[in-house]
Amino acid sequence: MEDYVYILDYLAAGKPGHRRESIAYGVGASQFTLLELLPKRDVPLTIGECVYVGKDKDNREKIAKVKGRVTYEELTAAAHGELLYIIMDIVNDNEERFVKFYNECPSISTRYHALELLPGLGKKTMREIVNERRKQPFESFEDISDRVNHLTHPEKLVAKRVEEELRNPDQKYRLFTRPPLKK
């Protein structure tokens, strides 16, 4: 369960053709869960805003109810457009967590490493990351960029992988997101 959600889209007048209640779409800060939310009456939301949706309903200042999980396809076009930017914000706000991934992620098999699941990262760069982290663990995204040739924005690779996992419900390997709901 997510405690905090970043707002991807806010429909103050509700969905076209549905009841006229405000609705919002968001992405969870810890497991990147896509959620449909009902905001409290007359409480405006801003795209990119982080709101509390945890179990303690008395502390929810802006969200009345979490309607439930949604798929990438159920998001609005505006939410699709904001998703990568919000994911980048979450990754940058949690740099330590994702640097730890670069330091500790394992091989998946004898021929395939979890690092190779990051878009655009091949075997040569994967080997360079593994060799560098053996010498000394990475301390930041900047440290990764400085020590690994041709890897200028390691945070972007993580964000693109998260987006890829959210877009494709049939993804075999999930590094950062919850598996989709079974239909």
- State the residue for tokens 């924005």: 153
Q: Name the residue type at position 5.
A: V
| CA dist list (Å): 39 to 58, 135, 182 | 14, 49, 26
Half-sphere exposure of 47 (CA within 13 A, CB side): 16
Domains and CATH numbers, the chain: 4-91 (2.40.50.140), 94-158 (1.10.150.280)
The average confidence (pLDDT) of the chain is 92
The neighbouring-strand residues paired with 50 are 6
- Asked if pLDDT for residue 180 goes beyond 80, the answer is no
Question: Distance between CA 75 and CA 131 in Å, rounded?
Answer: 40
For residue range 99-122, list pLDDT tens digits in order: 999 999 999 988 999 999 999 999
The pTM of the full predicted model, rounded to 2 decimals, is: 0.91
Average pLDDT over residues 39-54: 92
Q: In which band, very low, low, confident or very high, does the pLDDT at 182 lie, cut at 50, 70 and 90?
A: low
pLDDT at 181 (0 to 100): 73
Cα 10 to Cα 15: distance, rounded to the nearest angstrom: 10
Of the candidates 21, 55, 51, the one whose C-alpha atom is nearest the C-alpha of residue 38 is 21
CA nearest neighbour of 28 among 57, 55, 56, 8: 8
In one letter, which amino acid is 103? N
**pLDDT for res 140:** 97
